[in-house]
């Protein structure tokens, strides 16, 4: 899609988020043969209700607390200041410290670095002009894409400014990036962590242990166990439908 169809004025940064909605009501039909699927249940009209949203990956899973996950899923980014405390005082670093002790030092609070990452975008990278704090995936369209052979799966953390959180490519390891950011990898670089101006964990490579296959078939990641041809298409939407089963065990294809 042409960039000038997405941007406004002279601001090259765009933001995006998406939602999923369901009908408000479901009623039982006494005549199964006339129901939508023959099981006696018919979904009737009525307003659609937003039940999920996604912009930046893992925000609801990692940042938002249990009492407000459903409220977050039903909300609009323009109202995200109501969830600010979860961003400035995240629970994940505290939980990891309880589990792993000195191997996971929790950064100080308030987490102004995470406000930048999740709510405003990074100034000079993907922060729009006259920004309103809101959780969405932002992309600076003025930054040229990195060729597949040179892509770093840690995105900006790996020195690749065309990668996550500046947009999100199929090869970006968003779990590792988010985990490291939550543990303070960008303290002092995009915002302080309380009084801390440096990563309290010294750049420890926190990871969930999963790696992508590679940016494309021609540039497979050397440690990837899967083939890129199993996951990627040459054109939009770039990702194949997911396989059933676990990638760590036997997969039975239909």
Report, as an integer, the average pLDDT of 159-183.
Answer: 94
Q: Which structure tokens are listed for 164? A: 């996550």
Q: Is the pLDDT of residue 132 over 70?
A: yes
| pLDDT value, residue 241 | 79
Q: Structural domain boundaries of the chain?
A: 3-19+48-208
Q: Is the pLDDT of residue 36 over 80?
A: no
Confidence of residue 24 (pLDDT cuts 50, 70, 90): confident
| pLDDT value, residue 254 | 46
Contact 49, 21 (CB under 8 A): yes
In sequence order, the β-bridge partners of residue 53 are 19
What global pTM score does this model have?
Answer: 0.85
One DSSP character per residue, 230-254 reads: GTB-SSTT-BPPPPSS-TTS-----
Confidence of residue 219 (pLDDT cuts 50, 70, 90): confident
Q: Which structure tokens are listed for 239? A: 């990702």
122 φ, ψ to 5°?
-90, 125
Q: Is the pLDDT of residue 131 over 90?
A: yes
């Amino acid at each position: 899609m042409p960039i000038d169809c997405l941007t406004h004025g002279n601001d090259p940064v765009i933001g995006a988020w998406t939602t999923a909605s369901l009908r408000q009501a479901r009623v039982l039909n006494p005549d199964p043969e006339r129901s939508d699927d023959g099981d006696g249940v018919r979904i009737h009209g009525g307003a659609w209700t937003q039940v999920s949203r996604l912009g930046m990956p893992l925000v609801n899973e990692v940042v938002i607390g249990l009492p407000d996950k459903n409220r977050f899923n039903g909300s609009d980014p323009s109202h995200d200041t109501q969830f600010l405390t979860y961003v400035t005082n995240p629970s994940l670093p505290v939980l990891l410290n309880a589990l792993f002790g000195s191997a996971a030092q929790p950064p100080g609070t308030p987490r102004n670095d995470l406000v930048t990452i999740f709510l405003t975008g990074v100034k000079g990278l993907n922060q729009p002009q006259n920004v309103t704090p809101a959780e969405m995936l932002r992309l600076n369209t003025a930054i040229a894409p990195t060729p597949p052979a040179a892509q770093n799966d840690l995105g900006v953390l790996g020195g690749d400014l065309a990668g996550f959180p500046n947009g999100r490519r199929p090869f970006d390891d968003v779990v590792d990036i988010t985990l490291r950011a939550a543990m303070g990898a960008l303290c002092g670089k995009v915002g302080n962590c309380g009084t801390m101006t440096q990563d309290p964990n010294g750049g420890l490579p926190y990871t969930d242990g999963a790696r992508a296959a590679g940016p494309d078939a021609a540039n497979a990641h050397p440690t990837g166990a899967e083939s890129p041809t199993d996951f990627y298409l040459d054109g939009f939407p770039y990702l194949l439908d997911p396989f059933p089963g676990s990638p760590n065990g036997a997969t039975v294809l239909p």
